[in-house]
């Protein structure tokens, strides 16, 4: 048993010599330089003697962990391409600069897990877009729904603004601005018979337009917040319009997400190019048609694969250093040297003012009293006086100030209109200049009826309309003795007189007078919470953190339509009929 014996013989001319294994006890010594080494030395010596140039290396170095974006931009041969990294092409034994071609690639999504370099990729594209020569400087908008990685782009003069996804008002204004820009440019490009931004800018007699890039970091969180949330759906609809029609007019979207499933299928269909960085779950590569990527948990940040070409790439970094603090310093240094003409700077997205003085408001808006600053247009908004108005909100939201302003606004728009104030409690607005009369105390209802009952029974016609402002409306109508007052107010509404009622959320729960006013389903809801809008107005209002709602901030609801407004404060403005006498400042609850 066992393996058969093996003998090796060296056969030469006429002799046969058997090979014997060396004695295991003797040391084995190397027989000089290996043959391959001697061959290489001989060939190198021969090439040196003959002066032959060195041959091309059969392979290139593997991709480095970081590349300086400035160096990559100097090596790029694409005049309109946005440099984003270096691509390794093993089949051609070449490495070339990776570029994002907005007019060809359209919308771009960068997928990657935590720490894979998604935010860095978006910052790289933002910086590289400012380096494209021969064009009007790009306008860049950032929407950060992740960890604040886009904030360091703010110093760049090409960056219009960086907005957090939780700022519902400004996100809505951003999306509306971009959607309006797409519509306006579409009409302009159609008239010029241009199919892209370069075509339009090459048309004789037209001013060149800037390319607009919207960066969204953490798209999954943005979609979850805006796609199906009440009050946020119009902003998401504008976003989808930009995705669908922006490429041909020079408006592009670049976004990041942690996986492809974070994008709704309707959004996936509008994305033309995908770059995949290291993913947390290897099974997600298969959903993108990538079986072997070479990416693993040890891959450096910024290492990825272009899904279209299946080639590996490394995202470049401005300054060539991967550390976040160094990137921020490099971007600040770039911002200090970048120069943009004032006429070519992008406009930031404005914020709604926290405090608005009544003296800054016009006397009327198209003949209507001024309600306040509209959240969409940031312009004064009017309100009609044909139906009852509710003012509701929790303590500290500015209900009393809103009631005082509405009375003042009506007085400014119609100085001859009579405005009456009614309350059973102590009040800080009893001496408001707008009041024709003010009834306060436990007997306020009886005194009001005795004085104004006959006037309420007459039909309202223009300035003959009486405006009745009731503070703490829940105090009236609860007792049997309030029956005549409730009946008189009901009759006054039928005659066309205006009733404005103010109370907290709980005060609008029940009561005869409360039920009379709630039927209009119209009014101002300050700092809405939960289902307040649905309960009082049968409408859905957007959710906003209470901390972001200063006094006077709320939603105006009329016929199911909801609009965010900021109600002004009654300040030292002049009354229209006061002949220069100032009104004393009032306080808001």
Is residue 346 very low, low, confident or very high in pLDDT (cuts 50, 70, 90)? Answer: confident
Looking at per-residue confidence, does 202 or 194 come out higher? 194
582 located within any domain: no
Q: Based on the domain organization, do 308 and 398 belong to the same domain?
A: no
Residue 277 predicted with pLDDT over 50:
yes
- What pLDDT does residue 61 have? 85
- What pLDDT does residue 13 have? 75
Measured CA to CA, the distance from residue 69 to residue 131 in angstroms comes to: 10
Q: Based on the domain organization, do 298 and 408 belong to the same domain?
A: no
Looking at per-residue confidence, does 38 or 178 come out higher? 178
23 located within any domain: no
Is residue 574 very low, low, confident or very high in pLDDT (cuts 50, 70, 90)? Answer: very low
Measured CA to CA, the distance from residue 289 to residue 287 in angstroms comes to: 6
Residue position matching structure tokens 């959710």:
543
Measured CA to CA, the distance from residue 489 to residue 508 in angstroms comes to: 17
Q: In 3-state terms, what secondary structure has residue 463?
A: helix
Question: C-alpha 506: how far from its chain's center?
Answer: 35
Choosing from 291, 320, 344, the residue where a domain stops is: 344
Q: Based on the domain organization, do 323 and 434 belong to the same domain?
A: no
For residue range 435-490, what is the model confidence (pLDDT) as tens digits? 999 999 989 999 999 999 999 999 998 889 999 999 999 998 777 677 899 999 99
Is residue 376 very low, low, confident or very high in pLDDT (cuts 50, 70, 90)? Answer: confident
Residue 64 predicted with pLDDT over 50:
yes
Q: Based on the domain organization, do 368 and 238 belong to the same domain?
A: no
Q: Based on the domain organization, do 155 and 272 belong to the same domain?
A: yes
- What pLDDT does residue 573 have? 41
313 located within any domain: yes
The total of structural domains in the chain comes to 2
For residue range 134-151, what is the model confidence (pLDDT) as tens digits? 667 889 999 999 989 999
For residue range 478-489, what is the model confidence (pLDDT) as tens digits? 776 778 999 999
Q: Based on the domain organization, do 339 and 454 belong to the same domain?
A: no
For residues 353-371, average pLDDT: 94
Task: Report the CATH number at residue 218.
Answer: 3.40.50.300
- Domain residues for the domain of 419 are 358-566
Residue 520 predicted with pLDDT over 80:
yes
Range of lowest pLDDT (109-123, 124-138, 254-268): 124-138
Whose CA is closest to 126, among 111, 114, 113, 144? 144
Q: Based on the domain organization, do 423 and 313 belong to the same domain?
A: no
Is residue 589 very low, low, confident or very high in pLDDT (cuts 50, 70, 90)? Answer: very low
Q: Based on the domain organization, do 281 and 393 belong to the same domain?
A: no
Q: Based on the domain organization, do 112 and 147 belong to the same domain?
A: yes
Range of lowest pLDDT (387-391, 460-464, 566-570): 460-464
Residue 455: enclosing H or E segment and its boundaries?
Answer: helix 444-456
Is residue 214 very low, low, confident or very high in pLDDT (cuts 50, 70, 90)? Answer: very high
Q: In 3-state terms, what secondary structure has residue 97?
A: strand
Residue 209 predicted with pLDDT over 60:
yes
Q: Based on the domain organization, do 261 and 383 belong to the same domain?
A: no
Measured CA to CA, the distance from residue 586 to residue 432 in angstroms comes to: 8
For residue range 13-33, what is the model confidence (pLDDT) as tens digits? 777 788 777 666 666 666 667
Looking at per-residue confidence, does 406 or 14 come out higher? 406
Measured CA to CA, the distance from residue 336 to residue 368 in angstroms comes to: 48
Q: How many CB atoms lie within 10 A of CB 13?
A: 4
Residue 582 predicted with pLDDT over 80:
no
CB 525 within 8 A of CB 509: no
270 located within any domain: yes
588 located within any domain: no
Both ends of the chain: CA-CA distance in Å? 105
CB 174 within 8 A of CB 161: yes
- What pLDDT does residue 28 have? 60
Positive or negative, the CA dihedral 528, 531, 535, 539 is positive
- The pLDDT > 70 percentage for the chain reads 93
Is residue 577 very low, low, confident or very high in pLDDT (cuts 50, 70, 90)? Answer: very low
Measured CA to CA, the distance from residue 290 to residue 281 in angstroms comes to: 13
Sheet holding 251-257, edge to edge: 94-100, 82-89, 311-315, 303-306, 273-277, 108-111, 251-257, 212-217, 139-144, 159-164
Joined tokens for residue 586 = 């009032």
CB 550 within 8 A of CB 355: yes
Q: Based on the domain organization, do 284 and 423 belong to the same domain?
A: no
Crossing angle for the helix pair 219-226 and 233-245, to the nearest 10 degrees: 130
Q: Based on the domain organization, do 424 and 548 belong to the same domain?
A: yes
Measured CA to CA, the distance from residue 212 to residue 383 in angstroms comes to: 36
When the pLDDT of each residue in the chain is averaged and rounded to a whole number, the result is: 88
* Residues paired with 422 in a beta bridge: 439, 470
Residue 42 predicted with pLDDT over 50:
yes
Measured CA to CA, the distance from residue 157 to residue 475 in angstroms comes to: 57
């Amino acid at each position: 048993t066992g393996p058969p014996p093996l003998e090796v013989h060296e056969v030469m001319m006429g002799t046969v010599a058997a090979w014997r294994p060396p004695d295991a006890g003797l040391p084995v010594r190397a027989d000089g330089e290996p043959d391959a080494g001697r061959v290489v030395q001989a060939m190198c010596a021969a090439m040196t003697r003959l002066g032959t140039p060195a041959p091309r290396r059969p392979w290139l170095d593997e991709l480095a962990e970081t590349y300086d974006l400035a160096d990559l931009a100097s090596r790029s041969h694409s005049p309109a391409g946005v440099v984003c990294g270096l691509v390794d092409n093993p089949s051609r034994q070449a490495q070339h600069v990776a570029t994002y071609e907005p007019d060809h690639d359209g919308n771009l999504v960068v997928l990657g897990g935590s720490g894979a370099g998604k935010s860095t990729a978006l910052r790289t594209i933002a910086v590289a877009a400012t380096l494209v020569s021969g064009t009007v400087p790009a306008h860049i908008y950032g929407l950060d729904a992740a960890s604040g990685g886009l904030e360091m782009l703010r110093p760049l003069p090409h960056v219009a603004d960086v907005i957090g996804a939780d700022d519902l008002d400004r996100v809505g204004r951003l999306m509306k601005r971009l959607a309006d820009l797409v519509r306006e440019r579409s009409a302009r490009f159609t008239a010029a018979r241009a199919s892209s931004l370069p075509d339009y800018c090459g048309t004789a007699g037209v001013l060149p337009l800037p390319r607009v890039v919207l960066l969204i970091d953490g798209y999954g969180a943005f979609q979850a917040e805006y796609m199906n949330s009440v009050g946020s759906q119009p902003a998401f609809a504008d976003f989808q319009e930009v995705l669908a029609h922006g490429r041909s007019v020079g408006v592009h979207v670049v976004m990041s997400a942690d996986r492809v499933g974070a994008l709704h299928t309707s959004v996936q269909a509008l994305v033309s190019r995908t770059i995949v960085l290291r993913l947390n779950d290897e099974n997600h590569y298969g959903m993108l048609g990538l079986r072997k990527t070479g990416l693993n948990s040890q891959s450096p940040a910024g290492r990825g694969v272009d899904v279209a070409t299946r080639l590996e790439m490394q995202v470049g970094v401005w300054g060539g250093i991967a550390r976040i603090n160094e990137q921020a310093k490099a971007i600040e240094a770039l911002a200090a040297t970048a120069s943009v003409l004032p006429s070519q700077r992008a406009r930031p997205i404005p914020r709604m003012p926290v405090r608005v003085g009544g003296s800054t408001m016009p006397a009327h808006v198209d003949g209507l009293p001024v309600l306040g600053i509209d959240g969409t247009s940031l312009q004064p908004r009017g309100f009609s006086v044909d139906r009852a108005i509710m003012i509701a909100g929790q303590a500290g939201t500015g209900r009393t100030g809103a009631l005082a302003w509405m009375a003042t606004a009506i007085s400014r728009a119609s100085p001859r209109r009579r405005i009456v104030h009614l309350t059973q409690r102590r009040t800080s607005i009893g001496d408001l200049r707008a009041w024709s009369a003010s009834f306060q105390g436990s007997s306020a209802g009886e005194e009001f009826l005795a004085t104004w009952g006959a006037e309420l029974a007459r039909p309202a016609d223009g300035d003959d309309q009486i405006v009745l402002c009731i503070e703490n409306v829940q105090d009236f109508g609860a007792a049997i003795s309030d029956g005549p007052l409730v009946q008189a107010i009901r009759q006054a509404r039928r005659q066309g007189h205006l009733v404005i009622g103010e109370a907290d959320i709980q005060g609008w729960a029940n009561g005869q007078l409360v039920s009379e006013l709630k039927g209009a389903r119209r009014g101002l809801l300050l700092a809405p919470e939960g289902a307040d809008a649905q309960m009082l107005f049968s409408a859905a209002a957007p959710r906003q953190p209470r901390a972001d709602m200063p006094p006077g901030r709320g939603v105006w609801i009329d016929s199911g339509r909801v609009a965010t407004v900021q109600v002004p404060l009654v300040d030292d403005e002049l009354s229209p009929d006061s002949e220069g006498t100032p009104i004393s400042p009032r306080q808001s609850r």
